[in-house]
Chain A
């Protein structure tokens, strides 16, 4: 337990000590909110969708969490390249504890980032519609963060260095975001995009956030929670396996 805690604490300390990282990670969601929110707003309204900023904000919060959590999980690669990983690997502690500490730390950091994006979206004009369900928002943020931090750690454990990083970004993380229903409604999508979106775990995170912030769900809260938990558990298990195989 103390092992998981000290690894978690390390992640948080590192996060709060790198202000450029916090700010850098906020630029992108802000840009998306402003450019897409105001750019597509009128068309979306005309098509009968209502206020696009309202629709978009939960998707952008999820985006902020997605990127931060994957990056935090992947910090293991930096630790590996710059030596610190050896220190944890020779310690007499279960590999699962290391993996858990790293993942929980990344997930916490990403949840905080998600909260900050939420506040930004309020400034840009987002107004949550349900004030009772909103208490569940941090839970969904954390579930998204946990799932993708676990994914990041799993990927990082299987990679030797940063060489495959672009590949992961362009063929895994970007599609996960763009095909998740973060930017467009899944209702009435019967084509291939709809099918892809329904196997994209981020769709369920976005859906959950919309459910609790806007009272507007496609899959429904129980389904969202179930899918997120199951996938997160799978990623954790796979990640632990890869992690236990690391040789330096």
Chain B
């Protein structure tokens, strides 16, 4: 049973008003794998994750997640995964505990199990002592840890992490990766993650896919990628494959809104 594909993507494409963000990609992730999805800014990583997690409808292509179709079997798909989004997704006006409770109820985790798991998870990410504090009083790293704990509360088979360590100090990063690795080893949870820290991908991932301008340009183990590009580190391989030009990106309306909100709520 060890070669079951928990994610199967075939010819997946997403266009936004004529602009192709994800361009006819195909790949598979095996059950129990740690899979890194790398690429420069704007390559299409988050867009791919959104399609897999039922947040966005693809323009064309086929997807299977845990054997289910994200378009027609949404609830089965939704039960199969946990996710840490690239952007914040906590309710700042609730406490850490309330955010966890909310998630547990939405995923119908029975009350007793919920209590014990929340305690376990919050202790694990070092937030048990702060469980009664409003999330808006948390630092960026604390919020991130809480999001990770929350994503695991319903024991998903598959865990999506979209830049989970963005903006975290090395201590916290190591801590989080150590935990994720354990989960993968002990519980067999499949991990699908993106990151811009190449050494993280090199260290953690069983397999890596690199996407650029919406197309997957290479996939394989870190060793294979280095061999094919005749480089000695993943970072060099990455640069060799994707070039060294900086990707231009316009501020999205979400970014603008965040500015406005910040100005309004500043005290």
Q: Report the bound CA distance from A161 to B91 in whole Å.
A: 18
Contacting pair A90 B53 (CB below 8 A): yes
Bin the interface of chain B by size.
35 or more
**Cβ-defined contact, A2 with B89, below 8 A:** no
**Known A6-B105, A90-B83, A92-B78; contact A248-B50, beta-carbon cutoff 8 A:** yes
Q: Which one, B83, B94, B101, B106, contacts A88 given CB within 8 A?
A: B106
Chain B residue with the shortest CB-CB distance to A95: B74
Task: Judge whether A3 is part of the interface by a CB distance below 8 angstroms.
Answer: yes
State how many angstroms separate the Cβ of A40 from the closest Cβ of chain B: 35
Q: Chain A interface residue count: which class? A: 20 to 34
Q: Is the CB of B83 within 8 A of A81?
A: no
Q: Closest CB of chain B to A240's CB: distance in Å?
A: 15
Q: Does A189 contact B (CB under 8 A)?
A: no
Query: Which one of A18, A84, A89, A91 lies within 8 Å of B90 (CB-CB)?
Result: A84
Stretch at the interface among B3-11, B54-62, B197-205, B220-228: B54-62
Which residues of A are found within 8 Å of B115, using beta-carbon distances? none
Binds B, one of A9-17, A141-149, A179-187: A9-17
Tell whether B244 is near chain A: CB-to-CB under 8 Å.
no
Chain A residues contacting B105 (CB-CB under 8 Å) are: 2-3, 5-6
Among A2, A81, A90, which residue has its beta carbon within 8 angstroms of that of B55?
Answer: A90
Of residues 85 through 110 on chain A, the ones whose CB sits less than 8 Å from some CB of chain B are 86-93
Task: Assess whether A17 is in contact with B93, with CB atoms less than 8 Å apart.
Answer: yes
Is the C-beta of B155 less than 8 angstroms from some C-beta in chain A? no
A191 interface contact, C-beta 8 A: no
Pick from B26-34, B164-172, B257-265 the stretch touching chain A: B257-265
Q: State the CA gap A46–B151 with chains docked (Å).
A: 67
Taking a contact as CB atoms closer than 8 A, the residue among B57, B74, B90, B101 that contacts A83 in the complex is B90
Q: Provide the bound-state CA to CA distance between A5 and B102, in Å.
A: 10
A82 at the interface (CB under 8 A from B): yes
Quick check: A87 and B56 within 8 Å, CB to CB? no
- In whole angstroms, how far apart are the Cα atoms of A186 and B107 in the complex? 50
For residues 201 through 240 of chain A, which have their beta carbon under 8 Å from a beta carbon of chain B? none
Closest 7 CB pairs of A and B: A92-B78, A91-B106, A83-B89, A81-B257, A6-B105, A92-B75, A92-B79
Can you name 29 A-B pairs with beta carbons within 8 Å? A2-B105, A2-B108, A5-B105, A6-B105, A10-B94, A10-B102, A14-B93, A81-B254, A82-B88, A82-B261, A83-B87, A83-B88, A84-B89, A86-B85, A87-B91, A87-B102, A90-B53, A91-B78, A91-B103, A91-B106, A92-B79, A92-B106, A161-B253, A161-B254, A162-B257, A247-B56, A248-B50, A248-B55, A248-B56
Seen from chain A, the residues whose Cβ lies within 8 Å of a Cβ on chain B are 2-3, 5-6, 10, 13-14, 17-18, 78, 81-84, 86-93, 160-163, 247-248
